[in-house]
Chains A and B, each alone.
Chain A
Amino acid sequence: MIQDFVLLCAAGMLVSIYLMVGQKALVVAIRLYGLQSLLLGAVGVAMGLAEHRTHLFVTAGLTVALKGIVIPLFLLRVIDRVGIRREIEPYLNVPASLLLCLGLTVVGYRVSLGMAGASQGVPHQVVGVALSMVLIGLLLMVTRRKAITQILALLTIENAVFLVAVGATAGMPLVVELGVSFDVILAVLVLGVLVNRIVDRFESMDTSRLSNLKG
């Protein structure tokens, strides 16, 4: 029962990243990321109940509070300040990206088959979903131009890693998890500061303008 729920949430996270790839409005992409983080929090709570590990509730709470609410709000404020709402034409168009995503999902699933016997209790499909999300996050990162989209892609990859941590190992040790969360928050803040500086300087957050350095 709980396993099915975990699997459902993981599938929801996968759907959210497909939706992210499929559209261009930055506000929607940020909200999708928030939704994805809430699903990750739900996975954490479910695993906490199933494995009777209280510290999973702490990490799930952190995930919901920070990644579900604080970071999306912060990013929404950044794009508000910048006044840019839509991703311009990506390097790779949407249908082609989605097709590639499909291929990457198959790859992720195939690789996860090798772990079938390893993870405790949780179906290896969760790892498959996470690996697919890592690959799709990379795709998103190299085919989109807006700085915010690149940050979202990075955060999605991070979420995928946490999905492995919660789903396949019933949670990293609390100290490590706290340290990692702290670092992720700092990284987002630093990225936000850089986006602000880039916008001030280039009057755009199109990262294809950042191409003076070559050779």
Chain B
Amino acid sequence: MNLLLATLAAPLATAAIGAIPGPRRPKEAVLLGGLGATFILALATAGRFLAGETPAAFSGALRVDGLSALVLVLTAFVGLLSGLYSVGYLERNERAGFVSAKRRTELLALVPAYVAAMLLVAVSNNLGVLWIAVEATTLASVFLVAFHNRDTSLEAAWKFLVLGSVGLAFALLGTVLLFASGQGVLGQDMSALDWTRLLAHAGDLHPFTVKLAVVFALVGYATKAGLAPMHTWKPDAYREAPSPAGVLMAVGMMNCSLYALLRVHLVSKAALGPEFSGRLLLGLGLASVLVATPFILVQWNLKRLLAYSSVEHVGIMAVGFGLGGEAAAFGALLHMAYHTFAKPVAFFSAGTLAQLHGSSDFDAIGGGTLGRTPVASGLLLLATLMVTGSPPFGLFWSEMTILKAGFLGPHLAVIALFLAALVVLFCGFFYQVGRLVLGEGPGLVLGEGPGLVLGPDAGTPGRPVRPERLDLAMGTTLVAAVVAVVSSFYLPGSLIALIRAAVRVVEAGT
């Protein structure tokens, strides 16, 4: 059987089995086995690619080039982490009596379904298939956002679906217009929407129609990626989604939306020159970084804080791709890889804190969590170091690569503004997490004397904190942390080869 199809079938089958009600243990084993197999198959597919083959299926509608292989591997990796954490998450909620059997089935089916849809995005060569896959990710994830069925979850799910659907309608219009622009040269078959063919005949496409198509498609997929000003669904959805789903949205979906953006950008680059869509991406990316700044400074919720950090990072990557040039593209793709390794640690440790303290609002958790839940707090602190791009961790190097490419390029003012915003974001994120983890909390304000201040962040004392245990969720967080730290200093040669191959796709289209 075709290896590529097997990679897509594995999570799909896992989702189908997950949807059948049944006893907990075997179903969890199926989830882990399925997602583990998916990861191995994705690695094998990427290995085939590195060996010089071009895995493809359905007469080229699905095709693995360097960019696909990179996104495929990263997505399957996050899918496996999310599966592991899901099992631990359910176990904890089971103990606390939060989640019914029906909800459990929902999670066990939707997580692999979401992964399957994302993997399909990653290997789509046909822009029509790409659109269908992105829509499928939206439909698979909306009930994950509504998972807890609170008032706020419904609100978040509604915003997520309506905004996402408008974005996707725009992307569909863009796809249709691209199809229209190639009518004369590419014909009316399915293959007229193949990215490879569009790219090969880019010079013959009707220029104005391509322009219109690119605007609609970029805005549409940027909505899914959460680039400002279409990012407003993100903080709500991240706060409400359970952590294992949150990490899939924040890392997997972000990478896949960037993949879609890049495919459109590259067609536009070949047809209209690098300026048009490059400037659009640069503008959207800069707007995202700027918009995230004030919201991080005044944030009141840990998971929303992570959402704005995700708006920041997708902005950084968009700036990298928008700048153009090999160095900037390399920086942006390296950023994608490092972000994929670092963000799960932040999400998982934040999720653990939220579960142990019963809320993810700063006020409800209270300051000084390091004293009460040391392991999760320590991991969150480590994740903060990595996610904010502190040296010596990976995101620092990738941000530096992008900045260097930017300062050597023509957009100096933009890059200066970008750098300023990054510095403020760095401080803001540290301030928020520092306040939470190291600040004075209910346990530390027992001293006496006039010097004692009960700060506004003293929290609500008396809320019982569940003790930390080394369960599967915590174990997953630790593994993710080890991967993130090690990857900062040592990237396996094959991963670097994949990134280089992806750079080649972005720069040369092959």
Interface segment among B100-108, B187-195, B391-399, B449-457: the answer is B187-195
1/0 contact string of A175-187 vs chain B (CB within 8 Å): 1100110010011
Contact B129 A179 (CB under 8 A): yes
B470 at interface, CB cutoff 8 A: no
Q: Which residues of B contact A147 (CB under 8 A)?
A: 158
State whether the Cβ of A102 lies closer than 8 Å to any Cβ in chain B: no
Q: Contacts A157-B169, A169-B188, A213-B155: A111 and B212 contacting too (C-beta < 8 A)?
A: yes
A211–B206 CA distance with the chains assembled, in angstroms: 44
- Known A-B contacts A194-B146, A215-B295; the reply to A187 vs B212 at CB < 8 A is no
| B128 adjacent to A175 (CB under 8 Å) | yes
Of the candidates A160, A169, A190, A215, the one whose C-beta lies within 8 Å of that of B161 is A190
B177 touches A164 (CB 8 A): yes
Give Cα A74–Cα B206 distance, bound, in whole angstroms.
40
Please count how many residues in chain A sit with their CB below 8 Å of the partner chain's CB atoms: 47
**A187-B139 contact, Cβ under 8 Å, with A164-B177, A172-B179:** yes
B148-160: CB near A (< 8 Å → 1, else 0) gives: 0101101111110
* Partner among A111, A160, A187, A213 whose Cβ is within 8 Å of the Cβ of B152: A213
Bound CA span A190–B143, Å: 9
Q: Is A71 an interface residue (CB 8 A)?
A: no
Among A157, A161, A170, max chain B CB count under 10 A is at A161
Contacts of B159 in A (CB 8 A): 210, 213
Interfacial chain A residues near B179, Cβ < 8 Å: 165, 169, 172
Are B176's CB and A164's CB within 8 A? Answer: yes
Are A118 and B190 in contact, CB atoms less than 8 angstroms apart?
A: no
Q: With a CB–CB cut-off of 8 A, which chain B residues contact A198?
A: 154, 158
Q: Are A117 and B158 in contact (CB under 8 A)?
A: no
B131 within 8 A of A: yes
Tell whether A81 is near chain B: CB-to-CB under 8 Å.
no
Measured between beta carbons, the chain A residues less than 8 angstroms from B177 are: 164, 168
A120 adjacent to B183 (CB under 8 Å): yes
**A172 CA / B165 CA spacing, docked (Å):** 20
Closest B residue to A184 by CB, please name it: B135
Judge if B63 is at the interface, Cβ distance under 8 Å: no
- B166 and A157 within 8 A (CB): yes
Known: A115-B209, A161-B169, A212-B151. A173 touches B128 (CB 8 A): yes
Contact indicator A173/B193 (Cβ below 8 Å): yes
Hey, which chain A residues are within 8 Å of B299, CB to CB? 215
| B146 partner residues in chain A, CB cutoff 8 A | 194, 197
Q: Which residues of B contact A180 (CB under 8 A)?
A: 128, 131-132, 135, 172
- CB contacts (< 8 Å) of A186 on chain B: these are 139
CB <8 Å contact, B139 and A176: no
- Say if the beta carbon of B162 comes within 8 Å of chain A: yes
- A190 and B188 within 8 A (CB): no
Tell me if A158 is interfacial: C-beta within 8 Å of chain B.
Answer: yes
Tell whether, in the assembled complex, residue B155 and residue A169 are in contact, meaning their CB atoms are under 8 Å apart: no
Q: When chains A and B are docked, how far (Å) is the Cα of A111 from the Cα of B216?
A: 13
Contact with A along B8-48 (1 / 0, CB 8 A): 00000000000000000000000000000000000000000
For A164, list chain B residues within 8 Å (CB).
Answer: 173, 176-177, 180
B191 to chain A, nearest CB (A): 8
Q: Given A118-B208, A118-B209, A180-B172, A194–B155 Cβ distance below 8 Å?
A: no
A50 within 8 A of B: no
Complex Cα–Cα for A134 and B177 (A): 14
Contacts of A158 in B (CB 8 A): 169, 172
Query: When chains A and B are docked, how far (Å) is the Cα of A210 from the Cα of B154?
Result: 8
User: Are B235 and A213 in contact, with the CB atoms below 8 A?
Assistant: yes
Contact with A along B283-314 (1 / 0, CB 8 A): 00000000000010011110010000000000
B236 in the interface, Cβ–Cβ < 8 Å? yes
- Asked if B373 lies at the interface with its beta carbon under 8 angstroms from chain A, I say no
Interface string of A148-165 (1 = CB under 8 A from B): 001000100110110011
Majority DSSP secondary structure for residues of A touching B: helix
Task: Chain A residues near B272: list those with CB within 8 A.
Answer: none
Q: Whole-angstrom distance between the alpha carbons of A68 and B412 in the complex?
A: 53
B135 touches A187 (CB 8 A): yes
B211 / chain A contacts, CB cutoff of 8 Å = 114
Would you call B162 and A150 a contact (CB within 8 A)? yes
Task: Choose one: B136, B173, B188, B208; the contact of A115 (CB below 8 Å).
Answer: B208
* Nearest A residue to B298, CB-CB: A215
The answer to whether A169 touches B183, judged by C-beta atoms less than 8 angstroms apart, is yes
Interface centre among B132, B138, B159 (most CB of A within 10 A): B132
B142 in contact (CB, < 8 A): yes
Q: Does A207 make an interface contact (CB < 8 A)?
A: yes
Contact with B along A93-120 (1 / 0, CB 8 A): 0000000000000000001001101111
CB nearest to A51 among chain B residues: B188
A191 within 8 A of B: yes
Answer yes or no: A48 CB below 8 A from chain B CBs: no
**Which residue on B lies nearest to A122, using beta carbons?**
B180
Residue from B136, B161, B235 within 8 A of A183 (CB atoms): B136
Given contacts A154-B165, A173-B189, A215-B304, contact A183 B132 (CB under 8 A): yes
Question: Which residues of the partner chain A approach B298 to less than 8 Å between Cβ atoms?
Answer: 215
Whole-angstrom distance from the CB of B282 to the nearest CB of chain A? 23
Interface residues of A in 25-60 (CB under 8 A from B): 53
Residues 115-147 of B, flagged 1 when their CB comes within 8 A of A and 0 if not, give 000000000001011011001101100110010
B86 contacts chain A at the CB level, 8 A cutoff: no
28 A-B pairs within 8 Å (CB atoms) are namely: A111-B212, A114-B209, A115-B208, A118-B206, A118-B209, A134-B169, A154-B165, A154-B169, A157-B166, A164-B176, A165-B179, A169-B176, A172-B128, A173-B188, A173-B192, A176-B129, A176-B131, A186-B139, A190-B143, A191-B165, A194-B157, A210-B158, A211-B155, A212-B151, A212-B155, A213-B152, A213-B235, A215-B295
A interface with B by C-beta (< 8 Å): 53, 111, 114-115, 117-120, 134, 138, 141, 147, 150, 154, 157-158, 160-161, 164-165, 168-176, 179-180, 183, 186-187, 190-191, 194, 197-198, 201-202, 207, 210-213, 215
In the complex, besides A118-B209, A201-B151, 18 extra interface pairs with C-beta distance below 8 angstroms are A111-B212, A120-B184, A134-B170, A134-B173, A154-B165, A158-B172, A161-B169, A168-B177, A169-B180, A169-B188, A171-B188, A173-B189, A180-B128, A180-B135, A190-B143, A210-B155, A213-B156, A215-B301
| Nearest 10 A/B pairs, CB to CB | A176-B128, A173-B190, A179-B132, A114-B208, A118-B206, A210-B155, A183-B135, A169-B180, A213-B236, A157-B169
